Structure 1
């Protein structure tokens, strides 16, 4: 599955990725990825291979011909998959993305109206090879929905841009991550 995702990701030069509850695969630490994959596929005998393949996909982060834009909801910073230690480690990684500016990374905080109807995650692949239409991928519990209808893909792009306007970025994102990280470390285990 991870190889299929990597092949699809390679078709777009512009990636817009929103998730209200989780950190996206391209930004995950190995431990966070392991917890997500294990939760989704508890009987999966190839957990190590799946985690390694997800980590290999992260080479896209260093492709200068690809523009990556990530938005996450504040819930992703607060809600552990399995362990608080893993979440804190994931927050450390997000601090790097928020402060370095190597990717366009933003957090939609709880306290702002975000101006879009979006209860679910989605990824948009645009500027695709061979003039393929923009693709919106929606991951559901048991299936994946792909949308290429221009009117619908435009609606998702517009929603992404509205959320991007209220997202915390740079130093504001760093401050929020640090504050939440400190709160999590102070919680009794």
Structure 2
């Protein structure tokens, strides 16, 4: 199978001066491998991170199923300490994540993480924020009942924040399609200890 490798450019603009604008380069390998191209939901989550950059600055961030890592890279650019993860059985995706970090001159930790397989390095992480763009697209690895069980067990609730297109700049929204919602899973106020 022939693959095409390209570098896509993703720009994030602030208040009109270059001090509040960033650009991220992403190496994409356009073949049928989930983690090697930028998904639309990743663009939306990255824009959310950018617009909420003061919340991410100086935070410890973990991105699950990072793939090409666009949201995590934006978090790192705005000053977060970022750990990027993806399926441990996909070394080509993990290698691409490292190359993308080097390309953008960012010092992110890259780790293999397979859903349901928990090892010591994961328990050493203490993120303030966990990012995930479209990490629940394939239920064969976890099942909806597992998610519901964990939500109850850990006292979590899912809050819809925004329609994914409602806060995107129009030039970005015009390039994307689908029904994408931005949600946040938060610790219930009645359960502060895990």
TM-score by length of 2: 0.32
The structure carrying a bigger strand percent of its residues is 2
- The structure whose RCO (Cα within 8 Å, separation 6+) is larger is 1
